[in-house]
A and B are shown apart, each in its own frame.
Chain A
């Protein structure tokens, strides 16, 4: 029965595409084809497959999508390249996927193609990183500014109330989380004037860059007491640099991501290597829920922003969390 209905449905889906007008009018369902009886393809354009945080997101997505038998999830590897990721979104548009999930490698370069997908009537959920402008259905992500501000306040009030030199290792500056985390942390430490930021450098989310950059920072500023990093990988790199400089006891490390598993930040805090990290949830559950609302429940409007909450991982709760969470 379903196979007989599919050609008719596909034909019905094609007609609005031929017209080209956006289909997000009030009262009408967001998706052109919706309802619990059909099968849907969700195309997920991921930044790359090699970063641990990205793998964590992909794993959670693949686990959670099993709860929705109508959904088929296709994850594409953007290989950390604007051109490759743009091509993949273009291919998803060609394949007329029912929904697009995307974590854009860089905000501005991916905006044109995401906008095209949105205007072609494909609902778009942006995960963790945003494009510019408003051409998307929902953004699911943590409030990077707030998470970083909490980290800054923890540093200012609890870790280093007596003040001192601190360093910041940023993410790739052209991606939205990096900018927000940098500004948030600076806002968080503003309450303690005895804290002095002696170095801010981008390490593009990468561990090897963090080792090189932080080693150089420790040479230039030997009294650094704390380093805030934009992701767990960079914190791991900072740890290696501090160890190499013989300053493990002196430098407190704060990471972001809070990845589970043996290579993640939760274990590093549990073992006393870092002072703290902040869990940045993947948002996979929330993104799939939006997909369910749009595609299965035929919703005519959904939330524009879904903020996923964070949690601080510190020596008090790290061991418990490490035992509980899986990569």
Chain B
């Protein structure tokens, strides 16, 4: 949602209002449309709509839980007018570290989680610091970070994958960690999905209710004005990359727990899905406007779309084409409205 700093000329205001409301809620409207399509096109089993079955909803959210967690962090970065391409690689590094610390080094759950979260946050912080201190484009810095993280993952895993087996004794992980692969409430709702939903609430609260959240919009909207208003721009920029590092580390832990497996190739390509979810959610790639609720809706929309097509045995190609079309539509809508915004100010 963009912050209006200047009111439009009175005569123009009425023409803008319906479209502006539509765009503000574009991602939610899109999600409702996709869910409605899911219900309409859902296969039925003696009357029950499969798409709405509780375990199917759980499946949808589970399937987007990792890219969704990354997308939550990515929202902060994109609103601040940055980008982070290393998130998938940090997920891989984190899942390898998680597996390696518990299986090879015999650490307990809490020390492992702390170490992995700190490592991810530090990696992100480093990327943010390099970008701000040396004035380098985040695209370049995080692209380099992607390679570095993959390399570190290969080193930590000795070029191999690490199976996680549970039990007590050397070479086994504490059984409690396996909860990430479980389902609660009569075996219906995946824990990984619950982790995503909990973090989504936290992320939305941070962005919408804290001063830090407002700083991020300011820095992304007009960095110079933000600096002149006394906002600690460099610290904000570093902080958002720390957030994506942290989010990717969480996603990596969830990945290792869900699949009982840590591999240096984990998370390959996830950065693009996360960016897609953020863009579909209505966030402007150039920064300054966007919403966490939009990202959450965008993530779920992508998962629901894949689910509808799979339940109807439609080929994966259609899913990719549809996703591409939705991304372009969302971005075009966003650009159309910001153009109208700028015209209204003249």
**Roughly how many angstroms separate A79 CA and B307 CA in the complex, as a whole number?**
15
Chain A window 1-29, contacts with chain B (Cβ cutoff 8 Å), 1 for yes, 0 for no:
00000010011001000001000000000
Contact partners of B56 in chain A: CB under 8 A: 91, 94
A91 and B181: CB pair below 8 A?
A: no
Chain B interface residue count, CB cutoff 8 Å, equals 29
A58 at interface, CB cutoff 8 A: no
* Chain A CB within 8 A of B219 CB: no
A223 to B52, CA, bound (A): 63
Residue of B nearest to A9 (CB): B46
Give the size category of A's interface with B. Answer: 20 to 34
Flag whether B151 is at the interface (Cβ < 8 A). no
Q: Do B261 and A90 have beta carbons less than 8 Å apart? A: no
- The residue on B at minimum CB distance from A120 is B187
Which of A92-127 touch B at CB < 8 Å?
93-96, 106, 108-109, 111-112
Convert A147-174 into 0s and 1s, putting 1 for each residue whose CB lies closer than 8 angstroms to a CB of B. 0000000000000000000000000011
Residue A215 lies at the interface, judged by CB distance under 8 Å to chain B: no
**Once bound together, how far apart are the Cα atoms of A90 and B310, in whole Å?**
10
List residues of chain B with CB within 8 A of the CB of A20. Answer: 187
A82 located at the interface, meaning its Cβ lies under 8 Å from any Cβ of chain B in the complex: yes
Interchain nearest-CB distance for B92 vs A (Å) = 12
Q: Using a Cβ cutoff of 8 Å, how many contacts connect chains A and B? A: 71
For chain B residues 119-134, which have a beta carbon within 8 Å of chain A? none
Instruction: Say whether A208 faces chain B, with CB atoms less than 8 Å apart.
Output: no
By beta carbon, the residue of chain B nearest A92 is B310
Given contacts A83-B63, A94-B53, contact A14 B261 (CB under 8 A): no
Interface string of B293-318 (1 = CB under 8 A from A): 00000000000001100110101100
Q: Which residues from 249 to 300 on chain B have a C-beta closer than 8 Å to any C-beta of chain A?
A: 258-261, 263
Residue A77 interfacial (CB < 8 Å): yes
- For residue B161, which residues in chain A have a CB less than 8 angstroms away from its CB? 106, 173-174
B240 within 8 A of A: no
Smallest Cβ-Cβ distance to A7: which chain B residue: B46
B residues near A90, Cβ cutoff 8 Å: 55, 59, 62-63
Q: When chains A and B are docked, how far (Å) is the Cα of A112 from the Cα of B307?
A: 19
Q: Please determine whether A91 and B310 come into contact, CB atoms closer than 8 angstroms.
A: yes
B164 shortest CB reach to chain A, Å: 8
CA A82 to CA B258, docked complex, whole Å = 10
Chain A residues contacting B50 (CB-CB under 8 Å) are 94-95
A96 to B56, CA, bound (A): 12
Q: Is the CB of B53 within 8 A of A106?
A: no
Interface string of A62-102 (1 = CB under 8 A from B): 00000000000010110100110011101101111000000
Q: Which residue of A has the minimal Cβ distance to B161?
A: A174
Q: How far is the CA of A106 from the CA of B261 in the complex (A)?
A: 10
Contact residues in B for A86 (Cβ distance below 8 Å): 63, 259
Q: Is B45's CB within 8 Å of the partner chain A?
A: yes
- State in angstroms the CA–CA spacing of A95 and B55 once bound together: 11
Please name all residues of chain B whose beta carbon is closer than 8 Å to the beta carbon of A112 when the two chains form the complex. Answer: 181, 258-260
In the bound complex, CA of A94 to CA of B307 (Å): 11
Contact B46 A91 (CB under 8 A): no
In the assembled complex, B160 has its CB within 8 A of some CB on chain A: yes
With A and B bound together, what is the CA distance between A108 and B165 in angstroms? 9
Give A168 to B139 CA distance when docked, in angstroms.
Answer: 38
Q: Complex: how many Å from CA A86 to CA B63?
A: 8
Q: Nearest chain B CB to A112's CB is how many angstroms away? A: 5
Contact present for A96 and B45 (CB under 8 Å): yes
When distances are taken between beta carbons in the complex, the residues of chain B under 8 Å from A87 are 59, 62-63, 306-307, 310
Contact between B46 and A82 (Cβ–Cβ < 8 Å)?
A: no
Can you name 9 A-B pairs with beta carbons within 8 Å? A20-B187, A76-B313, A77-B315, A77-B316, A86-B259, A87-B62, A106-B161, A108-B259, A111-B260
Q: What are the nearest 9 A-B pairs in CB distance? A: A109-B259, A87-B63, A90-B59, A174-B161, A77-B316, A108-B261, A10-B46, A91-B310, A109-B261
